[in-house]
């Protein structure tokens, strides 16, 4: 059984990880997260509760980083990505599933407000903090001997889907992102907030002009946070600005709860990842 804690020396942690991956064909990371330090000029801002999964066979594998959404009023709840991780490791990926600062068992203070605010600039602090968290996770991926951190797919749901698109456009390590998977992505709940300007729309238009990384966007009909027309407008704005996006709006699913309907989106991801691997 893996036994990794925040007090484990880094070299011992890496050795234990390698042993787990090469001998136990899985190792339950739900019980044994690593805690990745996020530092700014030598000062630790947070330690991120992170679960690491990998295929059983040896070799350096491409990486998927899974980014969660907003807390929904439960900031201490750790998102369970075990099902998605099992699916992705079966496809040959190393999977890292971090909880951003102030979420789950991660330390630090979340700057990601979940209150209505129509001042578009108000969202920047939380987004930049999320960028720094992803920086740290990517740095950690580079230290893993079984992970190819030059081949990263950024994926996430809701706010995590938005973050994946944003980081591929503007993140410090954006050159390492070879693809993006965005499930029902949005940083704000525009359908509920009804702000005069839609932060999601403005942002996606900007990001489309800043990246050519292949994107797969999947939304569900009847999403009470985004709305059908808004989701279509987000993809159109991203594409019109020059972004490379495949967009799907799926019916017969629970709108924003798309993650709970894997049979609807896994075939789309299979095709997207297969094309990306060529």
Residue 165's nearest CA partner among 175, 155, 173 is 155
Which architecture does CATH list for 10-277?
3-Layer(aba) Sandwich (3.40)
Q: Which residues pair with 47 in a beta bridge?
A: 37
What residue spans of the chain are helical by DSSP H? Answer: 10-23, 82-90, 124-143, 159-170, 190-193, 199-208, 228-240, 262-277
Please state the domain extents for the chain. Answer: 10-277
Do the Cβ atoms of 78 and 99 come closer than 8 Å? yes
Residue pLDDT tens, the chain, 278 long? 233 333 333 333 333 333 233 323 344 444 589 999 999 888 999 999 999 999 988 789 999 999 999 998 899 999 999 999 999 999 999 999 999 999 999 999 999 999 999 999 999 999 999 999 999 999 999 999 999 999 999 999 999 999 999 999 999 999 999 999 999 999 999 999 999 999 999 999 999 999 999 999 999 999 999 999 999 999 999 999 999 999 999 999 989 999 999 999 999 999 999 987 66
101 in Cβ contact with 110 (< 8 Å)? yes
CA-closest candidate to residue 96, choices 129, 132, 59, 48? 48
| Residue 276: partners with Cβ closer than 8 Å, 6 or more residues away | 153, 178, 179, 214
């Amino acid at each position: 059984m893996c036994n990794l804690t925040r007090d484990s020396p880094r070299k011992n942690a890496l050795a234990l990880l390698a042993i787990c991956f090469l001998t136990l064909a899985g190792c339950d990371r739900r019980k044994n997260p690593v805690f990745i330090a996020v530092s700014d000029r030598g000062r630790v801002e947070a330690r991120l509760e992170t679960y690491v999964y990998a295929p059983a066979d040896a070799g350096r594998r491409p990486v998927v980083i899974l980014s969660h959404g907003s807390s929904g009023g439960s900031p201490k709840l750790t998102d369970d990505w075990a099902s998605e991780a099992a699916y992705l490791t079966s496809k040959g990926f190393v999977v890292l599933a971090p909880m951003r600062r102030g979420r789950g068992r991660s330390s630090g203070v979340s700057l990601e407000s979940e209150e209505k605010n129509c001042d578009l600039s108000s969202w920047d602090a939380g987004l930049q903090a999320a960028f720094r968290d992803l920086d740290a996770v990517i740095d950690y991926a580079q230290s893993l001997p079984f992970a190819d951190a030059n081949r990263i797919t950024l994926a996430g749901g809701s706010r995590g889907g938005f973050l994946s698109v944003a980081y591929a456009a503007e993140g410090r390590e954006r050159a390492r992102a070879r693809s993006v998977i965005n499930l029902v992505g949005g940083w704000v709940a525009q359908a509920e907030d009804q702000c005069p300007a839609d932060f999601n729309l403005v942002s996606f238009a900007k990001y489309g002009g800043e990246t050519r990384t292949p994107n797969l966007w999947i939304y569900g009909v009847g999403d009470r946070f985004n709305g059908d027309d808004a989701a279509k407008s987000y993809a159109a704005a991203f594409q019109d600005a020059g972004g490379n996006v495949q967009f799907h709006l799926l019916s017969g699913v629970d709108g924003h709860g798309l993650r709970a309907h894997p049979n609807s989106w896994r075939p789309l991801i299979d095709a997207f990842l297969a094309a990306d691997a060529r």
